[in-house]
């Protein structure tokens, strides 16, 4: 990509989330991820080009130095911060505006800084012999959300140990008009490792995708089986299922709100193959092992310290830099609270990393591999199943700002209290 010869006609609208808008190149397997900001929220608008570039570089560092070691080399593509010609960005913004869904238009694309993140286009297979034009790859994106029930002793409402956060959040979102229908998807089914439960979880995502499921090009049933296999495949290790420690000790890997048949939920056969994409994400999510309720007093400890010693913010890497020493703090945090500031900071960092893993997406790009190229097309009934090749990647791995933790704390009690009122109105 020659940055000085950028032409908006080579790029098209690809998709967007809450924080960024993505355009893809019409020929090369590249995307540009541009940040968005709310016109009402001057705080978050980009300031100078240098600041915007540093912000994006921070995202790259975090993906590369923190999330990649945790989630696995093969799944994470950190990309590169780029400075684009302003004229190109302005033309691009005008071009994509009409493609944008109205629900996302409360924010505008950053056309002032010219900075963006350049990534491989993960909807396309990275190295595949069979990506011919007549056999377009099929690609699905899953935003799985949090796949375990918290076991922390700091939890005050018992319902949080029984009903998962996603299922409770659904009721809250319905009441607030965010969605019109409850999703029957439960992340614990997807992360169960039980093929039947996983297949139903995917079926439920397809029935009511909300923003947790997206199909880029399609066909069905068989598709579900291919997705389950891709999510369970681990390339490094032989397929040996394992249960994570906390799940073993707590013995609870089902959510009471999951609408699957009781027998299926009781069926003990659930384990994720070590190093499959779901196992990696779940392991990282579980760095949040105190729950927000156990983290809040530690957050206070950190905040009080920072009030007294504001300069410490830098040494403690509260806003980065996201380098090996940050990862060290995340991975070597003491297991028990010794009352120290270091323990509190370690847990706060772990919590933020877990938040990223609870909010990421999995991209599964699938292509069918024909037996031969079918020049000799006899009208035989096809008895062999099509074979597939898949590439699996994880995206949307931004650091979650330190300041967003206190928002999580308020949101958590709102969701839980709303769920309790809805389901047990007499209490």
* Residues 16 and 36: beta-carbon distance below 8 Å: yes
CA max distance for the chain? 79
Sign of CA dihedral 145, 148, 154, 159: positive
Site string for ligand ATP, 21-60 (x = CB under 6 A): -x--------x-x---------------------------
Q: Shortest gap between Cβ of 254 and Zn ion (angstroms)?
A: 8
Which among 427, 409, 415 is positioned nearest to 257, based on CA atoms? 415
Residues 225-284 that bind Zn ion (CB under 5 A): 255, 257
Question: Does residue 18 interact with ligand ATP by CB under 6 A?
Answer: yes
Q: Shortest gap between Cβ of 397 and Mg ion (angstroms)?
A: 8
DSSP conformation letters of 104-130 = GTTEEE--SS-EEEEEE-TTS-SS-TT
Which of Mg ion, Zn ion, ligand ATP, none interacts with 395 (beta carbon under 5 to 8 A by kind)? Answer: ligand ATP
Which among 119, 90, 82, 121 is positioned nearest to 4, based on CA atoms? 82
Q: Shortest gap between Cβ of 284 and ligand ATP (angstroms)?
A: 16
Sign of CA dihedral 201, 20, 135, 75: negative
Q: Which of 16, 110, 279, 412 binds ligand ATP (CB under 6 A)?
A: 16
Which among 270, 274, 277 is positioned nearest to 361, based on CA atoms? 277
* Residues 281 and 362: beta-carbon distance below 8 Å: yes
Residue 87: enclosing H or E segment and its boundaries? helix 86-97
Q: Specify the stretch interacting with ligand ATP by CB under 6 A; choose among 11-19, 220-228, 370-378, 399-407.
A: 11-19
Q: Shortest gap between Cβ of 347 and ligand ATP (angstroms)?
A: 23
Q: β-strands 30-38, 272-273: how paired? A: unpaired
Question: Does residue 20 interact with ligand ATP by CB under 6 A?
Answer: yes
Query: Which lies closer to Zn ion via its Cβ, residue 35 or residue 146?
Result: 146
Nearest-angstrom CA–CA distance, 28 and 407: 40
Number of residues that bind ligand ATP (CB under 6 A): 21
Q: Which of 192, 234, 361, 389 binds ligand ATP (CB under 6 A)?
A: 361
Q: Specify the stretch interacting with Zn ion by CB under 5 A; choose among 160-168, 169-177, 297-305, 326-334.
A: 160-168
Q: Shortest gap between Cβ of 342 and Mg ion (angstroms)?
A: 29
Question: Does residue 186 interact with Zn ion by CB under 5 A?
Answer: yes
The DSSP symbol for 400 reads P
Q: Shortest gap between Cβ of 354 and ligand ATP (angstroms)?
A: 15
Q: How far is CA 49 from CA 4, 5, 83, 110, 317, in A?
A: 17, 20, 9, 11, 23
Q: Specify the stretch interacting with ligand ATP by CB under 6 A; choose among 92-100, 121-129, 276-284, 342-350.
A: 121-129
Question: Does residue 111 interact with ligand ATP by CB under 6 A?
Answer: no
| Residues engaged in binding ligand ATP (CB under 6 A) | 14-20, 22, 31, 33, 119, 121-123, 141, 214, 359, 361, 395-396, 398
| Residues engaged in binding Zn ion (CB under 5 A) | 164, 167, 186, 255, 257
């Amino acid at each position: 990509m020659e940055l000085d010869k950028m032409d908006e006609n080579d790029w098209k609208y690809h998709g967007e989330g809450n924080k960024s808008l993505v355009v893809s190149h019409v020929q090369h397997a590249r995307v540009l991820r541009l940040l968005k900001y709310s016109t009402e929220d001057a705080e978050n608008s980009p300031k100078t080009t240098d600041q915007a570039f540093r912000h994006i570089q921070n995202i790259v560092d975090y993906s590369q130095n923190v999330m990649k070691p945790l989630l696995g080399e093969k799944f994470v593509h950190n990309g590169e911060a780029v400075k684009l010609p302003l004229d190109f960005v302005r033309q691009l913004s005008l071009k994509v505006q009409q493609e944008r869904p109205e629900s996302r238009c409360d924010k505008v694309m950053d056309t002032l800084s010219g900075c963006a993140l350049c990534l491989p286009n993960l909807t396309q297979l990275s190295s595949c012999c069979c990506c011919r034009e007549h056999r377009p790859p099929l690609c699905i994106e899953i935003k799985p959300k949090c796949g375990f029930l918290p076991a922390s002793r700091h939890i005050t409402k018992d319902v949080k140990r029984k009903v998962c956060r996603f299922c409770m959040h659904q009721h809250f979102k319905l009441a607030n008009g965010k969605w019109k229908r409850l999703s029957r998807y439960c992340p614990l089914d997807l992360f169960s490792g039980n093929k039947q439960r996983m297949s139903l979880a995917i079926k439920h995502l397809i029935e009511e995708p909300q923003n947790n499921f997206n199909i880029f090009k399609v066909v069905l049933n068989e598709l579900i089986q291919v997705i389950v296999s891709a999510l369970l495949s681990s390339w490094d290790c032989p397929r040996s299922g394992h249960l994570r420690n906390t799940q073993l000790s707590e013995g609870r890997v089902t959510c009471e709100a999951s609408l699957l048949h009781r027998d299926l939920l009781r069926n003990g056969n659930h384990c994720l193959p070590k190093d499959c994409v779901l196992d990696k994400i779940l392991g990282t999510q579980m760095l949040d092992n105190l729950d927000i309720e156990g983290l809040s007093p530690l957050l206070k400890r950190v905040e009080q310290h920072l009030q007294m010693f504001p300069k410490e913010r830098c040494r403690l890497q509260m806003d980065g830099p996201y380098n090996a020493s940050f990862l060290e703090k995340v991975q070597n945090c003491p297991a028990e609270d010794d009352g120290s500031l270091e323990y509190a900071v370690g847990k706060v960092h772990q919590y933020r990393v877990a938040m990223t893993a609870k909010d990421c997406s999995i991209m599964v790009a699938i292509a069918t591999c024909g037996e031969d190229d079918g020049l000799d097309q006899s009208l035989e009934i096809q008895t062999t199943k099509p074979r597939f090749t898949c590439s699996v990647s994880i995206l949307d791995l931004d650091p979650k700002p330190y300041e967003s933790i206190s928002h999580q704390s308020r949101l958590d009690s709102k969701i839980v209290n709303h769920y309790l009122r809805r389901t047990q109105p007499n209490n």
